Structure 1
Amino acid sequence: MNDINLLVITTSISLFISLFLAIFLLSVKTKQKTSNALFATFLIITAIDLSGPLLSLIVQNLSNLGMLRNTLAFLQIPIFYLYVLSVCYSDFKLKPKYLLHLLPFLLANVILLPRFYFVNVASKINLLQNRQSVLELQFNHILFHTQIVVYLIAVFMLLRKTKKIYLENYAGANIKSYKWLFQFTIALTILYLIALVKNIFKFSQYEYISEWVNSGLLIFQLFITCWYLLKALNNPSLFRNIDSKLKLVADIILEDKVEEPLAENEKKQDETLSKLQQFMMAEKPYLNPSLTIQDISNTIQIPTRELSILINHHLNQHFYDFVNSYRIEQAMEILKDTTKSKVTILEILYQVGFNSKSSFNTAFKKHTGYTPTDYRKTL
């Protein structure tokens, strides 16, 4: 009885927090309305999926509604994938083609029509009691976990690509958003792995272990939901999206089938590099915390494509690191200036174009081998 009460209490708390966060995401004023709506939908579907212990007190799990609630789990990971797409790309829009992501959910329900949805309660009971030998349930079990693996791989590949594109084209502090989303995806991966273990025991002779794992699953779900809630409340506009039309430099180079003669190409690169360096030193555009490669391209009249290849390929630096190197050099000059010894590290990082203490410390140590504070002490 106590175990049942604990399960109901944990489920209730998780449901309340998930629905509260979903309402927050749908009501907060932001430009990222599509992203918020997608994640709110993900949370609502997850809440419905975890609501079994509560709904069993009200609705029979053997009903068609109960089974439909179970199969809603097929929509969780596709919606999360679309959410990641929406926060990665500023020009993301929901399109009819995304309805294809409904196919696993529809297929899972269609194959259950003959022997579950269209039969009486006694037949439903018989089907579930013999789940280990029922082809429809085994198929859905395999389909669900295959779907999770495929989508999680797709999410990690997407995050890896967009992070590289961000580094090659932007110099803001928002790279931490991709790191956080990567961490959150890892947490979801662990959550689904626990669910996989639970389902393996559910289809074995040790079904009672599945109930124990389910309790741990609910607690872990509650933990990561609270974690996301804290992040969302502290950072309503967590992500700065990139343009989906931007390409990786490696892909751009592969597209360039006709190259200029080597000598002429090297001469042109040297001229472009000289022009770029003079501009960076004279105009100090790196003081703009939201600087992009497009901003520099527009100012010095060098095509973005050419500039990107020069910095990211020939200089072997991401644009992000290229700009930060100038910011760090500027910070070092301020730290060396004895007349500015009372200027705080926080004031310096804002002066030179950073807007995050953590990103400033990381970039400074990468460039000098010291933290800003330690560097000041060595002078």
Structure 2
Amino acid sequence: MPTLPLKIDFFAMLIFLGVVQGLFLSYFFLTKKPFLWSNRFLGLLILCFSLSITEILLCYTNLMFNTLHLIDFTEPKNFLIPPLSYFYIRTRINHQFSRKDYWHFIPFVVYFIYCSLVFFPQNIYFKYNAYIHSYHPTLPTIENDQYWDYDWVFFIKDHVNLIFFFYLISYLVGIFFMLSKESKKLNLSFFSKENTELVWCRNIFFQMLGIMILFLIVKISFKNDLGDHILAAHLTFVIYLITFRVIHQSVFFHPQVNEEKEVKKYEKSTVTPEIQENILQKIEVLMAQEKPFLQSDFSLPNFAKTLKITPHQLSQIINESLGQNFFEFVAKYRIEEAQKLLTAKEYQNIKIEEIAEMVGYNSKSSFNTSFKKIVGLTPSEFRKNRA
């Protein structure tokens, strides 16, 4: 069979970096403890992106000539991307996912079975012809006696890009209405930057919208799959965007404020009682409506920045007005939210570890300690008593 030499250029290197980073990032989210649906959905979504660009890398660099059995091996998983995106955002907002939602993954199962019957069992010559038809249309095909001469059998595969395009649109519409509804519930506009959680979910929505638009442009502008390397480059950008978000949220980069030392400086503060009362009202509204304390990286410097005051001033207001330090202040809100989740019927089957992460704790032991200190019972005892 005719082959072509290895092709290494800027796009090949960029796509390779995307594969490596994507696999690393997907492993991070899929293994992160404690278990949380949003992390698993994001991990699977990134894994799908990584598998897609892996196949594109093999095809673009001509390595596929040596691994023809892998041609189109990732195609069925394209039907996982829309529902994974939808459920990532939904569980990020309200943590809801149940067994009745599994039907969303039926299209993936159906198409995988279809490919397993129609395409995957085909011989190497058939797959060689499929590869050069998509990426090297100028090369001659090889006669294949075992070719299945039934056009209707391949009708779905021949039109899979069009089917996927409309499938993706349907989920993007669902995501848009979900985000709009959540924004209205918080009395915010769709493009408001006040709620960081909604901002992140909105950014994911626009990235998926960008993928859809680029997918359409590439398929219209290039014959067959000749422009897929552009899609792979964009997916690499999305993977590194998520990586940047993870790094940005890391507590490693958040300076810790020693509040005991701050208290000694309060006598020199310019924060008057009137200013304290005004800021305190803003704090109460933010904590009640936007619930920033649910984020594990919620910190004194970040919250002070949201309020447009200094960490020193925020520490003073919480200490003098509420008689608490910042950590006690946050724990109070988190434990109150945990109590609501532990008594809600829809969360009765959710593990304590998941509840802990839902309310902003990265450690079950820290959650148990704070919960018992405030409530007088462990989370398990509290749930059992309220059952």
Pairwise TM-score range, normalised by the shorter structure: 0.5 to 0.7
| Cα displacement string for residues 170-225 of structure 1 (whole angstroms, at most 9, x for unaligned residues) | xxx971221232123212211232122323355xxx44xx53x3333232222222
Q: Return the match for 2:238 from 224, 244, 266.
A: 224
Whether 1:69 aligns to 2:69 is no
> Any conservation in 2 of the 1:116–1:127 contact (CA below 8 Å)?
no
Q: Is the 8 A contact 1:7 1:53 kept in 2?
A: no
Does 1:117 pair with 2:120? yes
Q: Name 1:234's counterpart in structure 2.
A: 248
What is aligned with 1:99? 102
Quote the RMSD (CA, aligned, Å). Answer: 4.0
Q: String of CA shifts for 1:47-87, please: whole Å, max 9, x gaps.
A: 00110144453786643x53331221111121111111110
| Residue 260 (structure 1) aligns with | none
Change beyond 3 A, Cα 1:177–1:8: same
Structure 1 counterpart of 2:155, one-letter code? L
Is residue 2:166 matched to residue 1:146?
Answer: yes
Is the 1:22–1:40 contact (alpha carbons within 8 Å) kept by the matching residues of 2?
yes
What percent of counterpart residues are identical?
A: 16
Please state if 1:41 is matched with 2:44.
Answer: yes
Deviations 1:74-117 (A, max 9, x none): 11121111111110104x23x22222122222232344455423
Query: Where does residue 298 of structure 1 map in the other structure?
Result: none
- Unaligned segments of structure 2, at least 5 residues: 138-150, 252-276, 292-305, 319-325, 327-387
Map of 2:330 onto structure 1: none
Question: Conserved in 1, the CA contact under 8 Å of 2:11 and 2:233?
Answer: no
Deviates more, 1:122-131 or 1:47-56: 122-131
Contact kept, 8 Å, 2:186 with 2:290, in 1: the verdict is no
Q: Distance in 1 between matches of 2:207 and 2:290?
A: 35
1:19 CA drift (Å) = 2.0
Shift in Å, 1:351: 6.4
Q: 1:291 aligns with which of 272, 287, 291?
A: 287
- Note if contact 1:68-1:109 (Cα within 8 Å) is conserved in structure 2: no
1:11 aligns with 2:15: yes
The answer for the alignment partner of 1:197 in structure 2 is: 217
In structure 2, the residue matched to 1:52 is 55
> How far has the Cα of 1:139 moved from its partner?
3.1
Which of 182, 197, 219 is the matching residue for 1:162? 182
1:88 and 2:93 correspond: yes
Partners of 2:172 and 2:209 within 8 A in 1: yes
State how 1:176-215 maps to structure 2 within 5 Å: 176-201=196-221, 206-207=223-224, 210-211=225-226, 213-215=227-229
Alpha-carbon separation, structure 2, partners of 1:149 and 1:294: 29
Letter matched to residue 24 of structure 1: F
Aligned to 2:366: none
Please give the TM-score of this superposition, normalised by the length of structure 2: 0.54
Measured in 2, the distance between the counterparts of 1:149 and 1:120 equals: 35
Which secondary structure does the structure 2 equivalent of 1:218 belong to? helix
Residues 145-188 of structure 1: per-residue CA shift (max 9 Å, x gap): 111101111111111111222348xxxx9712212321232122
- TM-score (norm: length of structure 1): 0.55
Equivalent residues of 2:83, 2:171 under 8 A apart: yes
* Cα distance in structure 2, aligned partners of 1:98 and 1:120: 37
CA–CA separation in structure 2 for the residues paired with 1:67 and 1:224? 22
Query: 3-state SS of the aligned residue for 1:102?
Result: helix
Query: What is the number of equivalent residue pairs in this alignment?
Result: 253
Q: 1:9 to 1:287 in 2, by over 3 A?
A: closer
Distance 1:181 1:350, change over 3 A: farther
Q: Is residue 25 from structure 1 mapped to residue 39 from structure 2 by the alignment? A: no
Q: Distance in 1 between the 2:238 and 2:289 partners?
A: 36
Q: How far apart are the structure 1 equivalents of 2:239 and 2:23? A: 10
Q: 2:160 aligns to what SS in structure 1?
A: helix
The aligned residue for residue 83 of structure 2 is 78
Aligned equivalents of 1:347, 1:16: Cα separation in 2:
42
Moved more, 222-231 or 38-47: 222-231
Could you tell me which amino acid in structure 2 is paired with residue 72 of structure 1? Answer: K
Q: 2 CA distance for matches of 1:139 and 1:223?
A: 28
